[in-house]
Amino acid sequence: MTASSQDSIIRCPAPAVDKLDKHGYLFGYPIAHSMSPLMHQTVFNGLGLNWSQQLLPSTDMDQFLQLIRDPRLFGSSITMPHKLAIMPHLDDLTPECKAIGACNTIFRRGSQLVGTNTDTIGVRESFFQNVSSDVFRGRPGMVIGGGGAARSAVYALVQFMKCSTVYLVNRDAAEVESVISWCKDQGYGDGLVYVSNAAQAEALQGPGAIVSCVPNYPPVTEAEKEARKVTEVFLNKPQKGAILEMCYHPVVWTDIAELSKQAGWQVIIGTEAVIYQGLEADRLWTGKELADLPADEVKRVIANELSKMKI
């Protein structure tokens, strides 16, 4: 891999794909430790396909745009820093891709290359595959955090899980206002409520589904401590629910996961979201339905990989 002294673009040689029937890429930087190729290879092997996803650790958009026009390409995964930059270069975008404002997956629709966002499906299926809908039906949802992952979580809670109200909890009011403004502009933000302090949380109905989208760091600043207090108020309300802890690295079991368990909540670890967003990509690439994909084998392989990380 080389870096251009003129434009600081990080380039890498195109992977060899001649022996494959079809291929795709994971395009981003840095991506050396991604489990995406392993996960998708498990699916392709399980389906008897001579396919593979190749790592493309690069910031060279021009190179990638040339590579994806290969007719043998089944699609690709997109990660940082390209989730926004790739969108104008695609033939079409799905409604969820437009609504979230980020693309993490490219698939083929005839001759077109279409961008979508499967992170929303990862959130949705983490709940649908692990929790009875009675747990969260008719109750507010809640998102901890204020970045791009928060938008995906809000979309899943509103559009798929039908939460008419979604609480937003975060240390930074400006980030929350940005999320609310974006979601309103896209048509799914009218029920968003910024819960800024513990006293406000005490007066609100408890949520049934929570998605935590923040790193596993102990709160240090006063704003961080107040956000944690808000979270604890909701966790300690009498009626419990399920929480998806999106953070799984460098540890799978986070402080918020432990707080939730101690408060009586069902905890869904973040690898569930990773697996189901990946399986949604496989569904789009292969044309198979989720029930026909080797989900249990993928979970076994990912769990085995995490066990090697000494976390």
* Distance in angstroms (rounded) separating the CA atoms of residues 301 and 295: 10
- Sequence-distant (≥ 6) Cβ neighbours of residue 39 within 8 angstroms: 274, 275, 278, 298, 301, 302
DSSP 268-289: EETHHHHHHHHHHHHHHHH---
**Dihedrals φ, ψ of 81, to 5°?**
-100, 30
Does residue 250 have a cis peptide bond before it, meaning omega lies within 30 degrees of 0? yes
Active site residue 83: yes
Structure tokens belonging to residue 296: 């249990």
Strand partners, 176: none
* Distance in angstroms (rounded) separating the CA atoms of residues 43 and 224: 40
State the catalytic residue, choosing from 83, 162, 225, 229: 83
Strand partners, 73: 23
Residue 186 DSSP symbol: T
The closest of 118, 128, 91 to 209, measured between CA atoms, is: 128
Q: How many CB atoms lie within 10 A of CB 113?
A: 19
Are 90 and 98 contacting, i.e. CB atoms less than 8 angstroms apart? no
Q: How many CB atoms lie within 10 A of CB 3?
A: 11
**Where in the chain does DSSP place strands (E)?**
2-3, 10-11, 22-28, 51-57, 73-78, 92-93, 105-109, 112-116, 141-144, 166-169, 192-194, 209-212, 242-245, 266-269
Q: Which residues form the catalytic set?
A: 83
